[in-house]
Amino acid sequence: MKLLLLPAVFALGSATHSGRSSARQLATFPGFAENIAVRHSGDILVTSLTTSSIQLLDPRVSNVTVALPPIPGANGISGIVEVEKDFFAVAAGIWNTTERRETNASVWMIDFRQSPSTRPALKKVVNIPETTALNSFTSIPGSSIVLGSDSNVGAIYSIDIGRRTYSIVNQDNALAPPGPAPSLGVNGIKVYGSYLYFANSGTGVLGRFPISRTGLATGPVQPVSQFNGSTYSGPDDFVIDEDGTVWISFHPNTIYKVDKDGKQEAVVSGDQILDPTSVTLGRGGEKGKRVLYASVNLLGEQIIGGVAEIEI
Ligand SMILES: *[C@@H]1O[C@H](CO)[C@@H](O)[C@H](O)[C@H]1NC(C)=O
Ligand SMILES: *[C@@H]1O[C@H](CO)[C@@H](O)[C@H](O)[C@H]1NC(C)=O
Ligand SMILES: *[C@@H]1O[C@H](CO)[C@@H](O)[C@H](O)[C@H]1NC(C)=O
Ligand SMILES: *[C@@H]1O[C@H](CO)[C@@H](O)[C@H](O)[C@H]1NC(C)=O
């Protein structure tokens, strides 16, 4: 979810990066890059809060992106998650990126299974008219259930993609924003083992709580690590690797690694990782696992999204 607003100074050439890795820009495209997922093939999908088309790119080919067919009735897309092989669910809506709130939210499936990569089948799953900030998606493995964060009311939706039903399965103070719009509460979420991990952008909390097979909270929130959160600076989406290490994007310009004890370390920061909104791991063998892809944004007169590759 967008945290930084104009004007951001994009200081070309005056790199001030710290951290132990460096980022390589793979591609840029018009729009505010919001969330990122990787297909089995290794291709990258990026959603944008300011366009209704998902961008598809092959990380082995620099600067070539394909805009997938637009999702009707939307001006932006936030969460994206793979539910089964080559079958993704996304959150679409009509966003106001100043308020960081939306209307007309709906869940769609993007199905590559029977279709060419550049023209997947699009199908609406369900409308969720009640939400004003359906943000990040994660799935419960082995089920057709997608969990979605609501950054406005501080809630978790459970959406059954097969049955085309949804309900709020958890609402908690720890998930709520600290102030009114444009403040954001729960943002990135990820199922890991029997826990749902979450980042609250406004309060800076990275936390987790145990969940049932349908996403219901079965225990209290446990803090994992505390960041400095505020309206325009804070943690966003993240990924958890098989060792339990969290790799998290942080506005305005850092990717942090958080170990199981909650210790934070900047992996990359500065001009080469501007406004990272989301981070995911590469796929495909040992090499894929050592690469992070981050959705980033060059905020200037025009909003340009991009994808950065970071070797870890
Ligand atoms: C990608 O495009 C950007 C912007 O047009 C350009 O600055 C950059 O050199 C290109 N990179 C490659 C690898 O072609
Ligand atoms: C958004 O929802 C409102 C209220 O239901 C409806 O009137 C309007 O047509 C919808 N807009 C779009 C683009 O679907
Ligand atoms: C978005 O929200 C801002 C702040 O509330 C408001 O001024 C603006 O008119 C809204 N934009 C649209 C397109 O509704
Ligand atoms: C939080 O902000 C304070 C004051 O600016 C700073 O000293 C501290 O290092 C920050 N902590 C983190 C985790 O960034």
**pTM of the entire predicted model:** 0.92
Please calculate the CA angle 127-130-132 and round it to the nearest 5 degrees: 100
Mean pLDDT of all residues in 208-231: 96
Rounded to the nearest integer, the mean pLDDT of the chain is: 92
Q: Which of 103, 108, 130 to mutate to test the pocket of ligand 2 (most atoms within 8 A of CB)?
A: 103
pLDDT at residue number 217: 96
Which ligand has an atom closest to residue 71 CA?
A: 2
Instruction: For residues 198 and 265, give the distance between their C-alpha atoms in angstroms, rounded to a whole number.
Output: 18
What percentage of the chain carries pLDDT values higher than 90? 87
Tens digit of each residue's pLDDT (9 = 90 or more) over 254-270: 999 999 999 999 999 99
pLDDT at 233: 96
Q: Give yes or no for a cis peptide into 120 (omega within 30° of 0).
A: no
Identify the residue whose C-alpha is closest to ligand 4 atom 9.
Answer: 228
Give the nearest ligand 2 atom to 73 CA: 13
Query: Mean of the pLDDT values across residues 12-20?
Result: 47
Mutate to test the pocket of ligand 3, among 2, 50, 98 (most ligand atoms within 8 A of CB): 98
Which residues are 103's β-sheet partners? 94
Is 145 in contact with 212 (CB distance < 8 Å)? no
Residue minimizing CA distance to atom 4 of ligand 2 = 104
Partners of residue 101 on adjacent β-strands: 96
Nearest CA to ligand 3 atom 1: 96
pLDDT (mean) for 27-50:
96
Whether the CB-CB separation of 34 and 49 falls below 8 Å is answered with yes
Residue 6 burial (CB count, 10 A): 9
Q: Residue 14 above 90 pLDDT?
A: no
Q: What is the pLDDT of residues 116-147, one digit of tens each?
A: 999 999 999 999 999 999 999 999 999 999 99
Q: Is the CB of 84 under 6 A from ligand 3?
A: no
- Reported as a pLDDT band with limits 50, 70 and 90, residue 191 is very high
Residue 19's pLDDT is 66
Give bridge partners of residue 248 from the DSSP assignment.
238, 256
First to last CA, the chain: 24
3-state secondary structure the chain: CCCCCCCCCCCCCCCCCECCCCEEEEEEEECCEEEEEECCCCCEEEEECCCCCCEEECCCCCCCEEECCCCCCCCEEEEEEEEECCEEEEEEEEEECCCCEEEEEEEEEEECCCCCCCCCEEEEEEECCCCCCEEEEEECCCCCEEEEEECCCCEEEEEECCCCEEEEEEECHHHCCCCCCCCCCEEEEEEECCEEEEEECCCCEEEEEEECCCCCECCCCEEEEECCCCCCCEEEEEEECCCCCEEEEEECCEEEEECCCCCEEEEEECHHHCCCCEEEECCCHHHHHCEEEEEEEEECCCEEEEEEEEEC
Q: CB neighbours of 184 closer than 8 A, spacing ≥ 6?
A: 1, 3, 100, 133, 135, 151, 152, 177, 200, 201, 202, 231, 234
Mean pLDDT of 159-185: 98
Tell me, using a 6 A CB cutoff, whether residue 98 lines ligand 3.
yes
Cβ atoms 188, 238 nearer than 8 A: yes
Tokens describing residue 68:
């997938």
